[in-house]
Amino acid sequence: MGVRNIARHSLWICWKDLLEFSRSKLRLIMLVLMPLFMMVMVGFIFPSGGSTISDQPIALANMDAGYNNNFLGNTFVAQLNVINNNTGMMDLSTAKDFGSIKSEIQNSKVAGGIIIPENFSSNILTGEQGYVTIVIDQSNPQMSVMIQTVLSKTIEAMGEQMAIHSLNSTYNVSIIQATSMVKPYNVQIRSVPEGNTNYFQFVAPGIIAMVVMISYEKDMGTLDGMLVAPINRLSIILGKVMAQTIRGMLQGFIILLLAVILFGVVVQGNILLVVALIVLTVFSFVGLGILITSFTDKEETATMVMMTLMFPMMFLSGVFFPLQQMPSYMQTFAHFLPLTYATTALRKVMVLGADIPAVATEITILVGFGVILLMIAVPMFKRAMSR
Amino acid sequence: MTVASNETIDNGVAIEISHLKKMFDDFVAVNDVSFSVKKGEIFGLLGPNGAGKSTLIRMLCTLSRPTEGFATVAGYDVLKQDDKVREHVGLVSEKMIMYDQLTARENLKLFGKLYNLPKDVLNKRIDELLSFVRMEKWADYKIATFSTGMKQRINVIRALVNQPEILFLDEPTLGLDPQSTAEIRELIRRINAENGTTIILTTHIMVEADILCKRIGIIDHGKVVAIDTPANLKKLVSGTEASAFEIEISNLEPGIVSSLQSLSSVKSLVQEDPTRLTVRANGNDSFDSIVDNLRKNGAKILMVKNLEPSLEDVFLHLTGREAREKVSENGNPKRRFGPHGRRRNARVR
């Protein structure tokens, strides 16, 4: 047999696989469309930076009973209206009380509500804090968190303004002094890398890693012809792995190109390192594909198993959300998934401009994962083939 | 094309099988099978789906390891010299071994390259093979554009790129229309006649085995229950039973029937319809006495047909069961028996 034969046979098998792939128009189109859809989808669904909520229907119940004919609730509403006219965040409507807001939320008429209680004026004018209640819709947790945050901030800011004005008018403190008294800390933001970043920048590395991972060879159905030829079993595996790697690289490149051209993603790090990481990602998943084909009987079963494994990986490996957003036990779990490391490494290089030492850990883990998987998969495959 | 290689001692035996057994977990797919196949023979393995035919073939092709027993193919041990065996066999398996998106020529080229054929030899052989099945015109079209019959022709010559001494065909006409079926059967005959290739063929179609094979092994539940020429196999049945005739008489009257029934040689008589009778009779002169009797009674004989026993009858005789393949022959090839058939077929893919 010899090494030369193995090499030659595997090259022919690789040639066959790539030829087959290049002939299938639909697969080629999907190769471009799939990542494009992904980018568009996640890029626009998940908002990039700050709050972008607008025209949210919010019910407002002003129940303030007043104090000595002073109706501070009305002032509050007027202020809120002024702010809202500038930001266009809310679509304010009037409600009677908590009960009516609740039923409006239940009927999906409003996304949340604000209640100014009866004792609002009396509390403030007697030297106590005035309470404002925000009602949120728990059936839409993400939106309710956003509304909650935005409303709280707005109302806090209104309170600060009021305090500053009281200080200014009551104690004759200048507005600047009053501001520094009420709000001694102010926050400024500087980012690495400099400049505006967007969600695409965050999500592109993950999508590259993910799509590359999916590009495995399902078609092992007609292996009999190769198995009955006097070739080493290793040639088949090698040939398939080569074809898969080349294909994965191509796919990775296309997404990278799309990300740069269409979505303004900037590659901060070394482009060669990005390419190397893409190849490494393909390598670390090759064994998984072989393993699955070894113990599944049909192409469809293999696809199903692959999908079942893929889906949690997609969501748990920090492709779409930062890992840090997940509960700690989930983070622990994520550290057992190779996609996590592929995503992290690619993100570090593409977004942060990291060099090799900075991603050495990830590289080591990916190589290790690939080697271990292959060490399990190759004997399994060989065994499965001579059943 | 000429027959390849004569490296091994020519004892006239292509395949020697000895106590071969294959188990899938608890299921015995092939059970203690022993027989041999002569060089240049067309040997048929006949049996219902799931009888173990494919498993047997796969073991002989080195695609499946026997659990017990041994076999030599082209003089080489299937277990110890699997690579040698592979050099000398070709396989047309139940599922076509081809890549739809590749052209006929590219498919043949790939497999030729796996046998290390030099470029010029391979190109010449591809052209020869394509013209052998009159597919030259379609050489550079994708397999996906072919009809099933065309695909199967390419599939068969694909197994011939290495000029195998022994060609295995697993249900080669399964799912083909009648015309393609006839074409493939003709092709199999030509491969055998023109190249002297030994052919092992599995089929569940009795007629196919009958018209193609020099010898037939009847296999059921993993066991070979009989091996002989089709003619000898049929004698197994006719030796024990009366000969049967189908007779068509235009003026079939009750008197004619009762007179015929009274003949001592007639064992049974069934009137199929107003003009036809099926008569079973004993003895060598039964045919004469029946015809004499009919003439005497003024019967106008339109047709007399000697009903030869078919392999169908042989199968029934040997296994005590109907050959269950009628459904399959009528275009339902998916029928399987027991869990093993499905499982094995699924596994090996």
Q: Is B23 on the interface with A (CB under 8 A)?
A: no
Contact A225 B158 (CB under 8 A): yes
Chains A & B: contacts with CB separation below 8 Å: 79
Mutate to test the interface with B, among A17, A224, A234 (most CBs of B within 10 A): A224
Q: Establish if B79 touches chain A: CB-CB under 8 angstroms.
A: no
Residues in chain A: 387
Q: Which of B55, B84, B114, B143 to mutate to test the interface with A (most CBs of A within 10 A)?
A: B114
- Cβ separation B114–A226 shorter than 8 A: yes
Q: By the CB < 8 Å criterion, does A225 face chain B? A: yes
Chain B residues near residue A230 by CB distance under 8 angstroms: 83-84, 86-87, 114-115
What residue of A is the nearest CA neighbor of B107?
A: A16
Confidence tier at A221 by pLDDT (50, 70, 90): low
On whether any CB of chain B is under 8 Å from the CB of A383, the answer is: no
pLDDT, tens digit, for every residue of A303-355? 788 888 888 888 888 887 778 878 888 888 888 888 899 999 998 888 888 88
From B248's Cα to the closest Cα of chain A, the distance in A is 52
Flag whether residue A2 sits within 8 Å of chain B, measured between CB atoms: no
Does A44 reach chain B within 8 Å, measured CB to CB?
Answer: no
Q: Does A20 touch chain B (CB under 8 A)?
A: yes
Nearest chain B residue (CA) to A222 = B97
Pairing of strands B13-24, B27-38: antiparallel
Q: Is the model's pLDDT at B283 over the cut of 80?
A: no
| pLDDT band at residue B338 under the 50/70/90 scheme | very low
How far apart CA A19 and CA B105 sit, in angstroms, is 13
List of chain A residues whose C-beta atoms are within 8 Å of the C-beta of residue B76 = none
Cβ A228–B110 below 8 Å, yes or no?
A: no
- Beta strands of B235-309 (E only): which ranges? 243-249, 266-273, 276-281, 301-307
Write the single-letter amino acid at B172: P
Higher pLDDT, A87 or B342: A87
Nearest to A317 by CA among A243, A242, A214, A194: A214
CB contact at 8 A, B278 and B242: no
Asked if B111 reaches chain A (Cβ–Cβ under 8 Å), the answer is: yes
Coil/strand/helix, residue A268: coil
- Give the residue on B whose Cα is nearest the Cα of A235: B114
Mutant choice from B101, B108, B170 vs A, greatest count of A C-beta within 10 A: B101
Residues in chain A within 8 Å Cβ distance of B64: 386-387
Backbone angles phi, psi at B215, to 5 degrees: -130, 155
Within 8 A of A20 by CB-CB distance, chain B residues are: 99, 101-102
Quickly name the fold that domain A56-182 has.
abc type-2 transporter like fold (3.40.1710)
CATH class of B13-97+159-233+335-348: alpha beta
* pLDDT tops 90 at residue B104: yes
Whether B93 contacts chain A with CB within 8 A: yes
Confidence of residue B329 (pLDDT cuts 50, 70, 90): very low
- Do A298 and B99 count as a contact with CB atoms less than 8 A apart? no
Q: Is the pTM of this model over 0.90?
A: no
- Whether A15 contacts chain B with CB within 8 A: yes
pLDDT confidence tier of residue B320, bands split at 50, 70 and 90: low
CB of B326 within 8 Å of a chain A CB? The answer is: no
In this complex, the residue of A20, A229, A385 whose CB is nearest that of residue B111 is A229
Nearest-neighbour CA in chain B from A232: distance (Å): 9
Two structure tokens written together for B130: 């394509």
Q: Which of B191, B163, B186 is closest to B176 using CA atoms?
A: B186
Interface check for B114 against chain A (CB to CB < 8 A): the answer is yes
Query: For residue B127, what are the CA distances in angstroms to A184, B86, B104, B134, B185?
Result: 89, 23, 11, 10, 22
B89, B99, B347 member nearest A387 (Cβ): B347
Token pair recorded at residue B134: 């009159």
Residue of B nearest to A17 (CA): B99
Interchain pair B114, A229: CB under 8 A: yes
Task: Name the band, by pLDDT with cuts 50, 70 and 90, for residue B343.
Answer: very low
For the ranges B2-11, B147-156, B279-288, the lowest mean pLDDT is seen at: B2-11
Q: Give residue-wise pLDDT tens across range A274-311.
A: 888 988 888 888 888 888 878 777 777 877 888 888 88
Which H helix or E strand runs over A92? Answer: strand A90-94
B63 closest CB neighbour out of A12, A222, A227: A227
Nearest Cα residue in chain A from B25: A387
pLDDT for B216 beyond 90: yes
Average pLDDT of chain A to the nearest whole number: 83
Interface test with A, best of B27, B95, B113, B342 (most A CBs within 10 A): B113
Chain A hits for B86, Cβ within 8 Å: 228-230
Q: Which amino acid is at B243?
A: S
Residue A96 has pLDDT above 80, yes or no: yes
pLDDT for B88 equals 95
Task: Please list every residue in chain B whose beta carbon sits closer than 8 Å to the beta carbon of residue A12.
Answer: 110, 113-114
Residue B328 has pLDDT above 50, yes or no: no
- Can you spell out the DSSP letters for B304-329? EEEEPPPHHHHHHHHHSS--TTHHHH
Please compute the mean of the pLDDT values over residues B95-107 and round it to a whole number: 91
Computed over every residue of chain B, the mean pLDDT equals 84
* A26 touching chain B per CB within 8 A: no
Residue ranges per structural domain of chain A:
2-47+197-385, 56-182
Token reading at B121:
């030899």
The per-residue pLDDT for range B41-92, each reduced to its tens digit, is: 999 999 888 889 999 999 999 988 899 999 999 999 999 998 999 999 999 9
Asked if the C-beta of A96 comes within 8 angstroms of chain B's C-beta atoms, the answer is no
pLDDT-derived band of residue A363, with 50, 70 and 90 as boundaries? very high
Architecture of the domain made up of B242-307? 2-Layer Sandwich (3.30)
Q: Which residue matches tokens 């059967």?
A: B185
| Nearest-by-Cβ selection for A20 from B64, B99, B114 | B99
Confidence label for B119 from pLDDT (cuts 50, 70 and 90): very high
Task: Tell me if A173 sits within 8 A of A181, measured CB to CB.
Answer: yes
Q: What are the DSSP calls for A260-294, one per residue?
A: HHHH-----S-HHHHHHHHHHHHHHHHHHHHHHHH
